Amino acid sequence: MPKISPISSNYHDRLHPWCIICCLPNAQTLIIQRFRRRNDAEAHLRVLQHMNPAIAYEIIFDASSPPAEE
């Protein structure tokens, strides 16, 4: 798999704002996968919950803006 540069990664993240996150201890989260559409994220979430019912997953909309360049 080709490496993604930080610039293209930010662009990819902005194009895929819907995220499935895994809820970890101490209020930490881990982004599992990003999606363009919410219904795609919901379908993938159902599969994850079926495969791993003991792990807590959530869908969020990541509207964070990229860091300002100086």
Mean pLDDT of the 1-14 span: 65
Give the pair of three-digit tokens for residue 36.
């363009």
Q: What is the pLDDT of residues 20-57, one digit of tens each?
A: 999 999 989 999 999 999 999 999 999 999 999 999 99
Alpha carbon distance 61, 34 (integer Å): 10
Give the pair of three-digit tokens for residue 40.
């795609």
Q: Which residue has the higher pLDDT, 57 or 9?
A: 57
